[in-house]
Chain A
Amino acid sequence: MSEFFSMGGYGSYIWASYGIAAISLIVLLITTLRGLGQSRTELDQLETVLKSRRPRRVRPKDQTS
């Protein structure tokens, strides 16, 4: 088994390239998924606000903050 990991003495180079590839591809995927989740939440919030506001637009003077 340790023979497999040492890869004929080049283990560090080989595992480093596979490891860096795996990490960067996974990080890109996760940041994309998180961004997508955040954008969905934000969009949902905006759309709920939009829905709740629509009837009030008839009397905009009522809405002073």
Chain B
Amino acid sequence: MHRFAKPSVFLKLTGAMMPWMVTLTVILTVVGLYLALFASPVDYQQGSTVRIMYIHVPAAWMGLFCYIGMAACGAMSLIWKHPLADICARATAPIGATFTALTLISGSLWGEPMWGTWWVWDARLTSMLILLFLYLGYIALVNAFDDPERGSKAGSALALVGAINVPIVKFSVDWWNTLHQPASVARMDGPSIDPSMLAPLLIMAFAFTGYYFIVLVLRVRLELNQRRIRALQLSGVFDDRAPTSGDDSNLAYDQGHNAGAGK
């Protein structure tokens, strides 16, 4: 497992997979949007607003999926201290936050015509808002330290503690009385949703998953580059202008230190 978690292997593997992932995601998106907007029937109660579901529900799944991934990476980063786990967790956070925000926004846009309100403080909506705050808190925390290792420790701890919110989001519609409808796809007795609506829902979910993996790979590469830049800047290779002794050392340090700041 560790052999595959080497950054160089990761870059090679994902580099080869990238064109396929992009093609697949584009096809899934086009088919999913076609089914969602044209080919699927309107709901007998909700009319056309049911089409918001094909954004709302996959985005909510992705919000939870990304969080589980982020917390799992956080755990691996704490236990094995593998840098790639921490990098994956950092790369996942903004994607998960985007999907969670999209869930809340599309949910509001669905709630206003159907429930008559943009927002209610009920269990499902509130726990989803907490999920968004957990993402934002994680992003703020890991970036709040000069030393990335300390940031990753604190962030991983937050991600793990916050993972308790995931089952709360999932089961909130069963545990509490809520305006939000209960689960209709991931149920013990199988989906209660019609296949004509289930198909676009699942295809959009796969399209979002493909998007997640593409952006994840790109963000991991970005993070690897940034770490390499940081390592080079801190390595002292660029400080060879510094005199070996004397009062000028501070000046030379400043020059070296700020060398990359202007770019």
Contact = CB atoms under 8 A, between A and B. Distances in A.
A60 B238 CA distance: 11
A24 B109 contact: no
Given A16-B109, A50-B237, A36 B48 contact: no
Given A28-B94, A45-B263, A63 B241 contact: yes
A53 B106 contact: no
Contacts of A25: 98, 102, 211
Contact of B113 (A13, A24, A63, A65): A13
A57 B240 contact: yes
Contacts of B233: 46
Label chain A's interface by main secondary structure. helix
Interface in A30-65: 32-33, 35-36, 39-40, 42-43, 45-47, 49-50, 53, 56-57, 60, 63-65
Given A13-B110, A25-B98, A25-B211, A42 B47 contact: no
Q: Which among B225, B228, B232 has the highest number of chain A CB atoms within 10 Å?
A: B225
Interface stretch (B51-59, B132-140, B144-152): B51-59
A18 B32 CA distance: 12
Range of interface residues on chain B? 35 or more
A14 B229 contact: no
A32 to B, nearest CB: 5
A42 B229 contact: yes
Label chain B's interface by main secondary structure. helix
Interface residues of A, number: 37
B106 A17 contact: yes
B193 interface: no
Q: Which among A16, A24, A46, A57 has the highest number of chain B CB atoms within 10 Å?
A: A46
Contacts of B102: 20-21, 24-25
B255 interface: yes
B106 A8 contact: no
B101 interface: yes
A47 B98 CA distance: 34
B226 interface: yes
Closest 8 CB pairs of A and B: A39-B225, A17-B106, A7-B48, A8-B48, A17-B109, A36-B222, A13-B109, A10-B49
Interface of A: 4, 7-11, 13-14, 16-18, 20-21, 24-25, 28-29, 32-33, 35-36, 39-40, 42-43, 45-47, 49-50, 53, 56-57, 60, 63-65
Given A13-B49, A14-B48, 11 more contacts: A10-B47, A14-B109, A17-B52, A17-B55, A18-B55, A21-B59, A24-B102, A29-B214, A46-B238, A63-B241, A64-B241
